[in-house]
Amino acid sequence: MDIDPDDLFRDDDEDQDNEYYQDSNYGREMVVYLVDASPKMFNSVTVSADQKEETHFHTAVSCISQSLRTQIINRANDEVAICFYNTKEKKNLQDLSGVYVYNVAEREDLDRPTARLVKEFACIEDTFMKEIGSQYGIISGSRENSLYNAIWVAQGLLRKGSAKTIDKRMLLFTDEDDPFGRITGATQKDMIRTTLQRAKDTQDLGISIELLPLSRQDEEFNISLFYAELIGLEGDALAQFIPSAGEKLEDMKDQLRKRMFKKRRIKRITLSIAGGISIEVNTYALIRPTVPGAITWLNSVTNEPLKTERSFICADTGALVEEPAKRFQPYKSENIKFSTDELAEIKRVSTGHLRLLGFKPLSCLKDYHNLRPSTFLFPSDEEIIGSTSTFIALHRSMLRLGRCATAFHGSSSHPQLVALVAQEEITSPSGQVEPPGMHMIYLPYSDDIRNIEEARRQ
């Protein structure tokens, strides 16, 4: 019987069903870094924060290097892959030209970062031209489409795992705002169409594509030429993209020092309203305590991870007990046996979803009722169509009437009442400050609140 090493060091009163101790799949992230390796990336020069000139390729490599170091420290379960396109050499499972998946020994292409990967990737600029090479992958007179191939390879790397529990992303570094500008006519239109369709198919699988543009000193990156349609930007989001992308790039370079936590979806739950009406919401932990990382048992000789197992031995015969263990409860001079599944079903209070009970004035909710960080709720239409419109109607009514909702949030080990407080959207000229949604506040039990007793003088 397998046991979780984390359970050996976890207190009995800790709720293993809350957002801090979710299954390791929840909140995991799989990222493929797509780096443009065309000669333009090596020729374009930008000025860094310390007034030093560096190529765009160096900027991308340094960003990824610092991101890998941060990931080893506080996001050890995340998996990454590094993929270069517009290269002379090719290395990928699909055997597509112009795409090179970088990796080191004793590691899969998409896997957790290792010390060897971080160390060797930081020095890749010294050997890149000799071992991988750089070239323009989309040129006139050729049907090769390196950008299409790169998205296809990245999609293949992200095929494992479910998009419901794992965030899958592609981060694209490039300074070429018009990758098909060197070709014309029907060939150009066909390549643009197939590349956009490949990107759409990728996004339909739950994989997001994010662009990190590298602008030249004399010319700003024009996202409207091609990439706006690739990543689905329009309206105000298009106008605000370049400033926010620059902030994202600086954040990648500084996040090791800041030790920032990414706001990820914890899990997806169902909110039962009334009359059989249910909607789907995603939960986010906006503020959470810093907890020690997961414990990994290592072999003292080889330093390899160990798999912990537990076996039961019969006290009378010394034989290995292969049947699953059973427990019993004495009742009227008879032992009533229970299997593990039966015990789990008895302890199960609820399925873990939200059930709306009613509404109360906001004045009934006191500050001292908030004993732990709240969880933020935001609607999702991925499985239940119409959840967003229903959530908006409920959200607006609560804001207009000044009410908070009370609901039952049951789990197998810690059922409790919660309060749902609607938060109105706050915007500024630079963009959104606070998103619309609801905060799920965990209400205390009656014995959690005690009257202050005045100390008696001796």
Is residue 129 situated within a structural domain? Answer: yes
Does any domain span residue 304? no
**Cα–Cα nearest to 152, from 190, 102, 205, 188:** 205
pLDDT in tens, 381-424: 888 888 899 999 999 999 999 999 999 987 666 778 899 999 99
For the chain, give the percent of residues with pLDDT over 70: 81
Amino acid identity, residue 139? I
- Of the three residues 243, 260, 277, the one that is the final residue of a domain is 260
Residue 117 sits in the same domain as residue 206:
yes
Same-domain check for residues 206 and 278: no
Residue 242 is predicted with a pLDDT of 63
Q: The domain that contains 387 carries what CATH number?
A: 2.40.290.10
pLDDT of 111 above 50:
yes
| 146 in any annotated domain | yes
Q: Does residue 301 sit within a domain?
A: no
Instruction: Tell me, yes or no, whether 430 lies in a domain.
Output: yes
Is 208 in the same domain as 278?
A: no
Same domain assignment for residues 243 and 373: no
Question: Are 158 and 71 part of one and the same domain?
Answer: yes
Are 213 and 279 members of one domain? no
Alpha carbons 54 and 44: distance in angstroms, whole number: 8
Q: How confident is the model at residue 7 (pLDDT cuts 50, 70, 90)?
A: very low
Enclosing domain of residue 101 = 29-260
Rounded Cα gap, residues 159 and 205, in angstroms: 9
Q: Is residue 60 situated within a structural domain?
A: yes
Q: Say if residue 232 is in the same domain as residue 284.
A: no
Residue with tokens 């034989």: 319
Residue 245 pLDDT > 60, yes or no? no
In a domain, 402, yes or no: yes
Answer yes or no: do 225 and 133 share one domain.
yes
Same domain, 246 and 272: no
Give the count of domains, the chain.
Answer: 2
For residue 154, pLDDT over 90 is answered with yes
Q: Does residue 433 lie within any of the structural domains?
A: yes
Same domain flag for 121 and 179? yes
Query: Could you tell me if 206 and 283 lie in one domain?
Result: no
Of residues 73 and 50, more confidence is placed in 73
Do 275 and 195 reside in the same domain of the chain?
A: no
